[in-house]
Structure 1
């Protein structure tokens, strides 16, 4: 069984903002890799700085490092032919998680995606967060961006690295087993499943500088870890005393999470949400807005990020109190992430880390966020309210089709 949600005090966790900070650290780690690189991402785009990450994978594979790359069948799909040929020639092993097939997303089981962004190098260094392999100034649907995408990741060492390595190794071998079984290579499939059950990586002692931190990896999947990320949020919100700040790209929390935020605000906790202000996708933009009313009425402050696309999935609670809590990961607070996708968040209980994240979020709210006025929200145009309700209804219908309640 993959270990997860096990807090220990032997970690060093460093916050990284945007691809501008993540990619150089990632490439440096790959160039220093000695034995293996495990890499999972929802989107792998080879435009701009994304190509530099691909080049680092190729260099590692060429010098004999075992290099495994898993991309999602919706987020990435088939790799570009030229890059696929280069990766294969270098020895990079890559696999596509849940390719869509001829019926695409018409089949509800295809809505279960690989949304986590994880990289483990040599079983001792972890990168985890919300940042895809995607240039900060490039969007596949909207082209060149005027300002960088707002997102975060962490670089971490310590015992949580083993949990990340375990879950990635198990998924890799299970995917190989499914492939072999479909090709009727049953002996190879059985061997892959046995390898998955035995796969383990021992994490080396933390090597980053600074005092050790208390942290854990929190996973979400559709087997053992169906609700761990949401429960981690609800526990932290329920014990908040002073302040809650959440930055989330696609924000459509279920009833329990909404009530937790409302109750926190009513007991005097300052609750601030930094949410997507630019239109990106119809469903995610409009389906979120019907839930704002109850939050605003309870005194929750909502800020919409406007300069570029907000893609962060982070939160910080009581950063300056005696029980600081922060999380950085891939999970949105919406039904796609909390009910269907494979997700991974790192939770850190450390004052210095929480304060660093808090300062960046407060700066974004003050300098790049537009605070939502409750009166203007209540008086928004009829057309917008109709679109909001249509999107909200479609989202609920989709959940009903999958058999989930939210």
Structure 2
């Protein structure tokens, strides 16, 4: 795959989109106005009412001559029905699955190394990045299990970086994980003029960019002067991020962490709570979101730094999955996201202190120690594991209907 270099881009227009109510209309409107090219990558695309709206929007674009390419994860997105997919491929939409695997005893086996990115690029003019998938559960009308999440709409030079990256990944016949080594690239961490709508596209892969997103979090925590808010759905990071959060709090930075209080998977809350005491005793404030499952992966620091994307702070996102985030240096955007997170904390969260945690017993002390050291060494352990080579598989064009022998008709002679 072509090597890419992270660069800060000036002069972008960046808008925060909260939940499906803001995200889906913005994406569908951009698709409706597309003239040349659409690239869409997502972890989940369900065949529900949101999925059908996306399908129809892309189909309409393809039928008016727009070139459409989609990449879905083979674990997160189940196979589509023929009625759903055949009109798309017949219209020329290129539909690929990342690492599709057959079911074993009714279960999907490709649990690790998922294509977890959520990216849309339209005509190299507009891009979307965030954590929102294409399913009805991202609409608040879905009910108690509706997910709280964020994405961004981008215009400007940053869009071209996202376009070239996505085109390169789609053009690759496979996505090789070079477990025998990697090429390092130097990342630029500092924006030259914070507050000037600067944006940086960063991603995580299993080749030369294994820890790029994590390194930006670490740098942010190391340079924070006043305040950090991290809202992360699946919080189970390695030692480096935990240590950086603790160090920031100890030097006087107001570090606040928002996690799931009503998780979609109970193990998420259990895992995060194993780490709470370590952070609380350093002065980190922890809040659990109580309204419904939190699915966001966002953070703000001081007055101008912010990030929105697909990367959780857990072993899958930090060590295995393919992820994408955008980092923004802009005071107005920082204040917008900060206001949203402040509202979550004040209205919808419960603050956690040690009195709300299970009493310390020898068995949960032991499990906490084991979990802590597992997290500390997990990325290194993953690097030693042998791995298959995930591949992109294109959905073929629909076959022409076969005529049964009994249904054959004599062709009249002309």
Match of 2:390 in 1: none
Q: Which residue pairs with 2:305 in the alignment? A: 325
**Aligned pairs (5 A) from 1:151-190:** 151-175=149-173
Q: Deviations over 1:286-344 (max 9, x none)?
A: 2222111110111111111111110000000002xxxx200000000111001111111
Offset of 1:173 from its aligned partner?
A: 1.6
- Larger radius of gyration between Structure 1 and Structure 2: 2
* Other-structure match for 1:356: 336
Matched residues in 1 for 2:166 and 2:335: separation? 30
Cα 1:375–1:402 shift into 2, 3 Å:
same
Q: Which deviations, in whole Å up to 9, do the C-alpha atoms of 1:157-203 show, x marking residues without a partner? A: 1222122112211221214799xxxxxxxxxxxxxxxxxxxxxxxxx
Residue 270, structure 1, aligned to residue 268, structure 2: no
Q: RMSD across aligned C-alpha pairs, in angstroms?
A: 3.2
Listed as ranges, the matches of 1:197-208 within 5 Å are none
* Cα gap change, 1:394 to 1:303, in 2 (>3 Å): same
User: What 5-or-longer segments of structure 2 have no aligned partner?
Assistant: 177-194, 386-414
The 1:75–1:233 alpha-carbon spacing in structure 2 relative to 1, beyond 3 Å, is: same
1:102 CA drift (Å): 5.1
CA positional deviation for 1:8:
2.0
Write out per-residue CA displacement over residues 199-226 of structure 1, whole angstroms, 9 at most, x where no aligned residue: xxxxxxxxxxxx9611110111111111
- Report what 2:241 is aligned to: 257
1-side partners of 2:325 and 2:9: how far apart? 15
**What CA deviation, in whole Å up to 9, does each residue of 1:82-124 have, x standing for no partner?**
2112322332210110012356999998611100100000112
TM-score under structure 1 length normalisation: 0.82
Task: Tell me which residue corresponds to 2:61.
Answer: 60
> How many residues end up aligned between the 2 structures?
366
Distance 1:127 1:62 in 2: 23
The answer to whether residue 259 in structure 2 is matched with residue 295 in structure 1 is: no
Alpha carbons of structure 1 residues 399 and 54: separation in structure 2 relative to 1, 3 Å: same
Q: Which runs of 5+ in 1 are unaligned?
A: 179-210
Is the counterpart of residue 221 in structure 1 residue 221 in structure 2?
Answer: no
Cα 1:298–1:29, aligned 2, differ >3 Å: closer, same or farther? same
Rate the CA distance shift 1:245–1:397 in 2: closer, same or farther, 3 A.
closer
Kindly indicate whether residue 291 of structure 2 is the aligned counterpart of residue 307 of structure 1. yes
Give the Å deviation of 1:382. 9.2
2:270 is matched with 286
Q: Which residue in the other structure is 2:19 paired with?
A: 18
Using the size of structure 2 for normalisation, the TM-score is: 0.80
The question of whether the paired residues in 2 share the 8 Å contact of 1:16 and 1:153 is answered with yes
> 3-state DSSP class of the match of 1:371?
strand
- State how far apart, in whole Å, the 2-side matches of 1:107 and 1:44 are: 16
> Aligned in 2, Cα 1:401/1:264: closer, same or farther, shift over 3 Å?
closer
Q: Distance in 2 between matches of 1:85 and 1:390?
A: 50
